[in-house]
Structure 1
Amino acid sequence: MAQLQDETSRTDLLNRLKRAEGQLRGIQRMIEAGEPCLDIASQMAAVRKALDSAYVRMTVCFMHQELKDRLNLQPDDVTQLDTMLGDMQTLLGKVR
């Protein structure tokens, strides 16, 4: 399978994952400190949402890269592709 070639997209994904990693460490500290389960569950839901968002972003970046390369799109077509995939990312972000 192809890799993400766009450095900006890779940096964005890595930053999203690092934030989620920080949230997970915070959850571990909450459990160690004996925080209430409801508070912990709330933070777990936030991490799941962050990971889902990162997954959607990665998928859209991959789709953009592959469609642009395989279809040999012109600059105007790339702009339309950007718009369409941006809308798709927004829609997929609301699935949960």
Structure 2
Amino acid sequence: MAALDNDKSRTDILNRLKRAEGQLRGIQRMIEEGEGCLPIATQMAAVRKALDSTYVRMTVCFMEQQLQTRLGADLSKDAGAMGEMFDEIETLLGKIR
């Protein structure tokens, strides 16, 4: 199985997860302090969306790495078009939630 080899993508994904972790701690605090269900549910939905978005980003990163490895091609030659394609893929995958 492939690993996250791209340092920029790894940092981006870790930062997204750390943000979600902070949101989860906030939800725990809200529950401990007796907040209402609606504000808690709103925050839970935000965390779910953040995790879904992170998953999509990781999936696109995996696809980029696999294409580069399996095609053995220098994808950087056409980096602009490839970057646009992966941005579109990420957008499309984000809409299936």
Q: Same fold judged by TM-score > 0.5? A: yes
Following the alignment from structure 1 to structure 2, what is the Cα–Cα distance between the partners of residues 56 and 77?
A: 23
- What pairs up with 1:6-25 in 2 under 5 angstroms? 6-25=6-25
Following the alignment from structure 2 to structure 1, what is the Cα–Cα distance between the partners of residues 95 and 2?
A: 27
Aligned-pair RMSD on alpha carbons? 1.2
Percent of counterpart pairs with the same letter?
67
CA contact (8 A) 1:64 1:82 kept: no
Number of equivalenced pairs: 96
Q: Cα distance, 1:69 vs. partner?
A: 1.8
Q: Cα distance, 1:48 vs. partner?
A: 0.2
Q: Give the corresponding residue for 2:84.
A: 83
Any runs of at least 4 consecutive aligned residues in structure 1 with deviations exceeding 4 A, and if so which? none
Q: Give the corresponding residue for 1:51.
A: 51
Q: Cα distance, 1:88 vs. partner?
A: 0.7
Following the alignment from structure 2 to structure 1, what is the Cα–Cα distance between the partners of residues 68 and 91?
A: 20
Counterpart of 2:47, as a letter, is V
1:30 is the counterpart of 2:48: no
3-state DSSP of counterpart to 2:73: coil
Q: Give the corresponding residue for 1:60.
A: 60
Q: Give the corresponding residue for 1:39.
A: 39
Counterpart of 1:92, as a letter, is L
Counterpart of 2:88, as a letter, is D
Structure 2: runs of 5+ lacking an equivalent: none
Following the alignment from structure 1 to structure 2, what is the Cα–Cα distance between the partners of residues 66 and 80?
A: 17
CA contact (8 A) 1:27 1:44 kept: yes
Structure 1: runs of 5+ lacking an equivalent: none
CA contact (8 A) 1:68 1:78 kept: no
